[in-house]
Structure 1
Amino acid sequence: MIDLNLSPSSAPPAIQPRASERPDFEVVWARHEEDVRAAQRLRYDVFVSELGARIRPQPGVPPGHDVDIFDNFCEHLLVRTLPSDDRPAEVIGTYRVLTPAAARRAGGYYSETEFDLTRLRSLREHMVELGRSCVHRDWRSGGTILALWSALGDAMRRNQWHTVIGCASVGMHDGGHAAASLWNRLSAAHMASIEWQVRARLPLPVDDLRQDLRVEPPALIKGYLRCGAKLIGPPAWDPDFNTADLPLLLRTADLPARYLRTGATFAAATDPRRTCR
């Protein structure tokens, strides 16, 4: 974990809720293996136990952990409660960050397992991937998400990352009709120009699905679009998570001025349960 321009003394300060909220929490970058394991346990609780994902066990990984091959290359951002006399510290939120240098070592971005990103090669030097975000069910409030995004924004400024990519997921419990309808609606107004468009490796068969349902965009996608993000291709189907994954790209140059001042508005708009994977 060497790519973040964040020494312990310059790491994001702890972000604490109002005194009336219970209990206080802090935002930290994982420094030890146990920090990462705590994030992986939270991810398992949310993605597998709560949302029904089917993950492939990795050799040597203890039960109850969501782990993939990219974890060892990523930085892991944690929201953690402060310990008390009767309660140990607990990781209640997490985001993982794959930096440009780490992506080179990993052989690519996680998104490349679902999409051909060839057209984005000119952006890679300053392109960071965000994913595997989740928050414990008892802490799904704007304050927790704001804490994550404040620290991410600080890291982006320090490291001069200009582009964010990720996959925003839409559940397919209805067989994919809602996802296809959402794609049909959003692609008409929020597609990136052709030079940034990518191709799904396992496309969702949108032409075989209904595309006329009135579907409200998930809060995550709505928040990204408000910030100036663009869809960069049709959705891919992720059979393990049973989701349709929409590829999104956000360039800091496209952010409205009010979002450059704070992550609060975006944080309040995002889905606190699941964001980019």
Structure 2
Amino acid sequence: MSLARRIPSARPRGFYYSFAQNEQDIDASLALRHRVFIEEMGAPIGQERDALDDFCLHLIVREAATDQAVASTRILTHEAAIAAGGFYSAAEFDIDRVLARPGRFLEIGRTCVAPAFRSGAAIAMLWHGLADLIRADDYDHLIGCASIDLRDGLDRAQAICRDILARQPLPTSRRVVPRQTLPPGSGRLPKSVRLPPLIKAYLRLGARVGGPPCHDPSFGVADVFMHLDVARISPRYARHFLGSDSPAPEPAVRLSA
């Protein structure tokens, strides 16, 4: 029995999560990704699917009343990344120093939430499913690229990166290096910015920022590498993320790869 089949779905608060078991389930996730990344955000990528999807688990949150897919993320396990030739993040950053840490890694990406369901409960259920997976198979590290939408300008993106790097950076010995640097913008950075909710959620859990962002023109975003050492999750959120049957509420969010 596959790992995804061993993890029970959950149905509190009008939503439930499950892992894709067939092509129909995966198509539902891909359709949602297309709606968010291409139709809404205008990513010039043509088709919202790549070769890595075949190696990933696809975690889907559905509204219980309609069974409509309202949120999803794809998950690359440690073993699947080896089979795929590496993690997605490695295409955007040199992450060798992070991967040198002992333990097993889990990567999330392509996370998205339908516009009408960004009130918090759907994304909370997504994190709940992710936590169940981490518990079920004893992962030590969660990694991923959290995106900053560049439609709001390069100066805002640079200001956000400045803020989070000052707040919770990885130690210098484990910093990542972007393969495509973000253009500098005008240099007139705003004094304060509102953090994207996915980045805020990572930071609340105790994740560290890997270093400067990578420019991803295919999605029109600046990607920030995030690393969460599961053993060092913030005590305030550890009970919800790894030890509770009820998901911790998270803010409504438009998430990217």
Q: Same fold per TM (> 0.5)?
A: yes
Q: Distance in 2 between matches of 1:25 and 1:134?
A: 15
Matching residue within 15, 19, 35 for 1:29: 19
Question: How many Å apart are 1:56 and its aligned residue?
Answer: 4.0
TM-score (norm 1): 0.84
Question: How many Å apart are 1:200 and its aligned residue?
Answer: 0.3
Report if aligned partners of 1:163, 1:252 keep a CA contact under 8 Å in 2.
Answer: yes
Q: Distance in 1 between matches of 2:198 and 2:225?
A: 12
Q: Give matches, 1:162-173, under 5 Å.
A: 162-173=140-151
Residue of structure 2 in register with 1:196 after alignment:
174
Residue of structure 1 in register with 2:39 after alignment:
49
Question: How many Å apart are 1:258 and its aligned residue?
Answer: 2.9
Bigger radius of gyration among the two: 1
Q: Distance in 2 between matches of 1:151 and 1:175?
A: 33
Q: Distance in 2 between matches of 1:270 and 1:246?
A: 19
Report if aligned partners of 1:119, 1:196 keep a CA contact under 8 Å in 2.
Answer: yes
Change (3 A) 1:6 1:36: closer
Change (3 A) 1:32 1:266: closer
- In structure 1, runs of 5+ residues without a counterpart are 18-23, 58-65
Q: Distance in 1 between matches of 2:210 and 2:250?
A: 21
Question: How many Å apart are 1:11 and its aligned residue?
Answer: 2.2
Residue of structure 2 in register with 1:77 after alignment:
59
Question: How many Å apart are 1:46 and its aligned residue?
Answer: 0.8
1:211 aligns with 2:207: no
Question: How many Å apart are 1:91 and its aligned residue?
Answer: 1.3
Identical aligned pairs, as a percentage? 35
| Deviations, residues 218-261 of structure 1 (Å, cap 9, x unaligned) | 12212211211111110111101111111111111221223121
Question: How many Å apart are 1:191 and its aligned residue?
Answer: 1.0
TM-score (norm 2): 0.90
TM superposition outliers: structure 1 runs of 4+ over 6 Å: none
Question: How many Å apart are 1:5 and its aligned residue?
Answer: 2.9
Residue of structure 2 in register with 1:11 after alignment:
7
Change (3 A) 1:242 1:262: same
Report if aligned partners of 2:124, 2:250 keep a CA contact under 8 Å in 1.
Answer: no
* DSSP 3-state at the match of 2:211: coil
Matched positions, count:
254
| Deviations, residues 1-39 of structure 1 (Å, cap 9, x unaligned) | x8x6343xx42233232xxxxxx4321110001110110
One-letter code of the match for 2:213?
P
Residue of structure 2 in register with 1:273 after alignment:
254
RMSD: 2.3
Matching residue within 61, 65, 80 for 1:102: 80
* DSSP 3-state at the match of 1:173: helix
Q: Distance in 2 between matches of 1:177 and 1:150?
A: 34
Q: Distance in 2 between matches of 1:190 and 1:256?
A: 12
Change (3 A) 1:266 1:164: farther
One-letter code of the match for 2:52?
F
One-letter code of the match for 1:112?
A
Report if aligned partners of 1:220, 1:271 keep a CA contact under 8 Å in 2.
Answer: no
Residue of structure 1 in register with 2:221 after alignment:
243
| Deviations, residues 141-180 of structure 1 (Å, cap 9, x unaligned) | 2221121111110110111111111111111124411111
Question: How many Å apart are 1:266 and its aligned residue?
Answer: 8.5
* DSSP 3-state at the match of 2:39: helix
Question: How many Å apart are 1:42 and its aligned residue?
Answer: 0.4
Question: How many Å apart are 1:136 and its aligned residue?
Answer: 1.3
